[in-house]
Chains A and B, each alone.
Chain A
Protein backbone atom coordinates (compact mmCIF):
# COMPACT_ATOMS: atom_id res chain seq x y z
CA UNK A 1 0.00 0.00 0.00
CA UNK A 2 0.89 3.66 -0.09
CA UNK A 3 3.42 4.88 2.45
CA UNK A 4 5.59 7.82 3.46
CA UNK A 5 9.05 7.61 5.00
CA UNK A 6 10.60 10.57 6.75
CA UNK A 7 14.02 11.29 8.04
CA UNK A 8 14.20 10.42 11.70
CA UNK A 9 14.55 13.09 14.32
CA UNK A 10 15.03 14.89 16.46
CA UNK A 11 16.94 17.43 14.41
CA UNK A 12 18.72 20.17 16.34
CA UNK A 13 20.00 23.25 14.52
CA UNK A 14 21.34 26.65 15.41
CA UNK A 15 19.39 29.72 14.35
CA UNK A 16 20.03 30.73 10.72
CA UNK A 17 21.22 27.24 9.76
CA UNK A 18 20.00 25.51 6.60
CA UNK A 19 17.31 22.89 7.05
CA UNK A 20 16.56 19.77 5.04
CA UNK A 21 14.07 17.14 6.16
CA UNK A 22 13.95 14.18 3.80
CA UNK A 23 10.69 12.59 2.72
CA UNK A 24 10.19 9.74 0.25
CA UNK A 25 6.96 8.05 -0.71
CA UNK A 26 5.52 4.94 -2.29
CA UNK A 27 2.23 5.30 -4.09
CA UNK A 28 0.22 4.03 -7.02
CA UNK A 29 -0.94 6.69 -9.40
CA UNK A 30 -0.13 10.35 -8.95
CA UNK A 31 -0.48 11.47 -5.36
CA UNK A 32 -0.64 14.97 -3.99
CA UNK A 33 2.09 15.69 -1.46
CA UNK A 34 1.99 17.79 1.68
CA UNK A 35 4.00 19.07 4.57
CA UNK A 36 2.08 19.68 7.79
CA UNK A 37 3.55 21.29 10.91
CA UNK A 38 2.56 20.84 14.53
CA UNK A 39 3.78 23.56 16.88
CA UNK A 40 3.94 22.72 20.60
CA UNK A 41 0.44 22.56 22.06
CA UNK A 42 -1.27 23.24 18.74
CA UNK A 43 -3.05 21.25 16.03
CA UNK A 44 -1.69 20.22 12.64
CA UNK A 45 -1.39 23.05 10.12
CA UNK A 46 -0.81 22.77 6.41
CA UNK A 47 2.62 24.21 5.62
CA UNK A 48 2.75 23.63 1.87
CA UNK A 49 1.64 21.24 -0.84
CA UNK A 50 2.29 20.16 -4.41
CA UNK A 51 -0.20 18.32 -6.57
CA UNK A 52 1.84 17.23 -9.59
CA UNK A 53 5.36 16.35 -10.60
CA UNK A 54 7.90 19.21 -10.61
CA UNK A 55 5.55 21.51 -8.68
CA UNK A 56 7.22 23.48 -5.92
CA UNK A 57 5.24 24.28 -2.81
CA UNK A 58 6.39 27.19 -0.67
CA UNK A 59 5.30 29.03 2.44
CA UNK A 60 6.97 31.00 5.27
CA UNK A 61 10.39 30.48 3.68
CA UNK A 62 9.95 26.71 3.44
CA UNK A 63 10.05 24.96 0.07
CA UNK A 64 9.57 21.44 -1.26
CA UNK A 65 9.65 20.15 -4.84
CA UNK A 66 7.64 17.15 -6.01
CA UNK A 67 10.21 14.81 -7.59
CA UNK A 68 8.50 11.91 -9.30
CA UNK A 69 11.72 10.35 -10.57
CA UNK A 70 13.07 9.99 -7.03
CA UNK A 71 9.64 9.75 -5.33
CA UNK A 72 10.72 12.49 -2.94
CA UNK A 73 9.37 15.70 -1.43
CA UNK A 74 12.16 17.04 0.77
CA UNK A 75 11.47 20.08 2.92
CA UNK A 76 14.05 22.90 2.92
CA UNK A 77 14.53 26.30 4.49
CA UNK A 78 17.53 28.50 4.00
CA UNK A 79 17.67 30.06 7.46
CA UNK A 80 15.71 28.60 10.36
CA UNK A 81 14.45 30.57 13.35
CA UNK A 82 13.74 29.52 16.91
CA UNK A 83 10.04 29.89 16.10
CA UNK A 84 10.35 27.06 13.53
CA UNK A 85 10.77 24.54 16.34
CA UNK A 86 7.97 22.05 15.80
CA UNK A 87 7.18 18.58 14.49
CA UNK A 88 6.99 18.33 10.70
CA UNK A 89 4.93 15.66 8.94
CA UNK A 90 5.16 14.66 5.30
CA UNK A 91 1.95 13.22 3.86
CA UNK A 92 0.36 12.06 0.63
CA UNK A 93 -3.13 11.76 -0.72
CA UNK A 94 -3.64 9.40 -3.61
CA UNK A 95 -7.29 8.53 -3.96
CA UNK A 96 -10.54 10.31 -4.65
CA UNK A 97 -11.50 10.08 -1.01
CA UNK A 98 -8.59 12.29 -0.11
CA UNK A 99 -7.44 10.49 3.00
CA UNK A 100 -3.94 11.47 4.06
CA UNK A 101 -1.15 9.00 4.70
CA UNK A 102 1.46 10.49 7.02
CA UNK A 103 5.08 9.84 7.78
CA UNK A 104 6.13 9.40 11.38
CA UNK A 105 7.11 13.05 11.83
CA UNK A 106 10.42 14.80 12.38
CA UNK A 107 10.95 16.96 15.44
CA UNK A 108 12.97 20.11 14.80
CA UNK A 109 14.55 22.08 17.59
CA UNK A 110 16.23 25.40 16.75
CA UNK A 111 18.57 26.88 19.33
CA UNK A 112 19.39 30.59 19.55
Chain B
Protein backbone atom coordinates (compact mmCIF):
# COMPACT_ATOMS: atom_id res chain seq x y z
CA UNK B 1 0.00 0.00 0.00
CA UNK B 2 1.75 3.10 -1.24
CA UNK B 3 -0.72 5.69 -0.02
CA UNK B 4 -2.53 8.37 -1.97
CA UNK B 5 -0.41 9.92 -4.70
CA UNK B 6 -0.96 13.19 -6.57
CA UNK B 7 0.64 14.57 -9.69
CA UNK B 8 2.09 16.98 -10.38
CA UNK B 9 3.28 18.16 -6.99
CA UNK B 10 3.67 21.72 -8.24
CA UNK B 11 2.12 23.56 -11.17
CA UNK B 12 2.78 27.10 -12.27
CA UNK B 13 0.53 28.47 -14.98
CA UNK B 14 -0.53 31.75 -16.51
CA UNK B 15 -3.95 33.21 -15.98
CA UNK B 16 -6.42 31.89 -18.52
CA UNK B 17 -4.70 28.54 -19.08
CA UNK B 18 -6.25 25.18 -18.29
CA UNK B 19 -4.68 22.79 -15.79
CA UNK B 20 -5.36 19.18 -14.86
CA UNK B 21 -4.34 17.34 -11.72
CA UNK B 22 -4.35 13.63 -11.09
CA UNK B 23 -5.02 11.66 -7.91
CA UNK B 24 -4.36 7.95 -7.41
CA UNK B 25 -6.12 6.72 -4.28
CA UNK B 26 -5.16 3.80 -2.10
CA UNK B 27 -6.12 0.70 -4.02
CA UNK B 28 -9.58 -0.64 -3.26
CA UNK B 29 -10.67 2.61 -1.63
CA UNK B 30 -14.09 3.35 -3.06
CA UNK B 31 -14.42 6.95 -1.94
CA UNK B 32 -12.29 9.78 -3.26
CA UNK B 33 -12.42 13.40 -2.13
CA UNK B 34 -10.99 16.67 -3.41
CA UNK B 35 -10.23 19.62 -1.13
CA UNK B 36 -8.62 23.01 -1.61
CA UNK B 37 -6.37 24.63 0.97
CA UNK B 38 -5.21 28.23 0.91
CA UNK B 39 -2.38 29.58 3.02
CA UNK B 40 -3.19 29.70 6.71
CA UNK B 41 -6.56 28.01 6.30
CA UNK B 42 -7.94 24.54 6.75
CA UNK B 43 -8.86 22.45 3.71
CA UNK B 44 -12.24 23.15 2.12
CA UNK B 45 -14.30 20.38 0.54
CA UNK B 46 -14.76 20.54 -3.23
CA UNK B 47 -16.29 17.25 -4.36
CA UNK B 48 -16.36 13.51 -3.78
CA UNK B 49 -16.85 10.26 -5.64
CA UNK B 50 -18.08 6.87 -4.64
CA UNK B 51 -16.57 4.58 -7.24
CA UNK B 52 -17.13 6.44 -10.53
CA UNK B 53 -20.18 8.39 -9.37
CA UNK B 54 -19.71 12.03 -8.37
CA UNK B 55 -22.12 12.31 -5.47
CA UNK B 56 -21.60 15.82 -4.11
CA UNK B 57 -20.12 19.10 -5.27
CA UNK B 58 -19.46 22.14 -3.14
CA UNK B 59 -20.69 25.58 -4.14
CA UNK B 60 -16.97 26.42 -4.22
CA UNK B 61 -16.72 24.33 -7.37
CA UNK B 62 -17.55 26.83 -10.08
CA UNK B 63 -18.35 25.75 -13.62
CA UNK B 64 -14.67 26.23 -14.50
CA UNK B 65 -13.88 23.20 -12.34
CA UNK B 66 -14.63 19.65 -13.40
CA UNK B 67 -13.68 16.36 -11.80
CA UNK B 68 -13.87 12.83 -13.11
CA UNK B 69 -13.21 9.33 -11.91
CA UNK B 70 -13.94 7.34 -15.05
CA UNK B 71 -13.13 3.82 -13.92
CA UNK B 72 -13.56 4.23 -10.21
CA UNK B 73 -9.81 4.28 -9.66
CA UNK B 74 -7.79 7.44 -10.30
CA UNK B 75 -9.42 10.86 -10.53
CA UNK B 76 -8.66 14.08 -12.38
CA UNK B 77 -9.50 17.64 -11.45
CA UNK B 78 -9.46 20.16 -14.27
CA UNK B 79 -9.58 23.92 -13.92
CA UNK B 80 -10.37 25.87 -17.06
CA UNK B 81 -9.45 29.51 -17.64
CA UNK B 82 -7.48 29.71 -14.41
CA UNK B 83 -7.65 32.85 -12.29
CA UNK B 84 -5.21 34.11 -9.70
CA UNK B 85 -7.74 33.25 -7.00
CA UNK B 86 -7.36 29.58 -7.96
CA UNK B 87 -3.84 29.57 -6.50
CA UNK B 88 -3.95 27.04 -3.66
CA UNK B 89 -2.98 23.54 -2.59
CA UNK B 90 -5.32 20.93 -4.04
CA UNK B 91 -5.62 17.88 -1.83
CA UNK B 92 -6.99 14.46 -2.62
CA UNK B 93 -8.09 11.92 -0.04
CA UNK B 94 -9.51 8.43 -0.19
CA UNK B 95 -11.36 6.16 2.21
CA UNK B 96 -12.57 2.58 2.20
CA UNK B 97 -16.24 1.76 1.88
CA UNK B 98 -16.61 0.12 5.26
CA UNK B 99 -18.56 1.19 8.36
CA UNK B 100 -15.62 3.37 9.45
CA UNK B 101 -15.75 5.21 6.16
CA UNK B 102 -15.12 8.47 7.88
CA UNK B 103 -11.34 7.99 8.08
CA UNK B 104 -9.76 9.72 5.09
CA UNK B 105 -6.16 9.31 3.94
CA UNK B 106 -4.65 12.33 2.27
CA UNK B 107 -2.17 12.69 -0.53
CA UNK B 108 0.68 15.23 -0.49
CA UNK B 109 -1.26 17.73 -2.58
CA UNK B 110 -0.68 19.68 -5.79
CA UNK B 111 0.35 23.27 -5.29
CA UNK B 112 -1.04 25.52 -8.02
CA UNK B 113 0.33 28.99 -8.67
CA UNK B 114 -1.49 31.15 -11.20
CA UNK B 115 0.55 34.09 -12.44
Query: Do chains A and B stick together as partners?
Result: yes
Is A73 in the interface zone, CB < 8 Å from B? no
> Given A99-B56, A105-B41, is A43 in contact with B102 using a C-beta cutoff of 8 Å?
no
Is B85 in the interface zone, CB < 8 Å from A? no
For the side of the interface on A, what is the size category?
20 to 34
CA distance A46 to B41 in the complex (A): 17
In the complex, what residues of A have CB within 8 A of residue B100's CB?
51
B contact residues, total (Cβ < 8 Å)? 26
Is B25 in the interface zone, CB < 8 Å from A? no
CA distance A49 to B106 in the complex (A): 15
A103 touches B101 (CB 8 A): no
In the complex, what residues of B have CB within 8 A of residue A36's CB?
106
| Chain B proximity of A8: nearest CB distance (Å) | 11
CA distance A98 to B102 in the complex (A): 5
Is A20 in the interface zone, CB < 8 Å from B? no
A43 touches B42 (CB 8 A): no
In the complex, what residues of B have CB within 8 A of residue A42's CB?
108
A97 touches B42 (CB 8 A): no
Is A66 in the interface zone, CB < 8 Å from B? no
In the complex, what residues of B have CB within 8 A of residue A97's CB?
48, 55-56
Q: Which of A49, A98, A104 contacts B48, CB < 8 Å?
A: A98
Can you list 19 pairs linking A and B with CB atoms under 8 Å apart? A36-B106, A42-B108, A43-B4, A43-B108, A44-B106, A46-B103, A46-B105, A51-B102, A93-B102, A98-B33, A98-B48, A98-B95, A100-B104, A101-B45, A102-B44, A104-B42, A105-B40, A105-B41, A105-B42
- Point out residues on B near A: beta carbons under 8 Å: 4, 31, 33, 35, 40-45, 48, 55-56, 91, 93, 95, 100-109
- Point out residues on A near B: beta carbons under 8 Å: 4, 32, 34, 36, 42-46, 49, 51, 89, 91, 93, 97-105
14 more contacts with CB within 8 A, not counting A36-B106, A43-B4, are: A43-B91, A44-B43, A44-B93, A97-B48, A98-B95, A98-B102, A98-B104, A99-B48, A99-B56, A100-B45, A102-B42, A104-B41, A104-B42, A105-B40
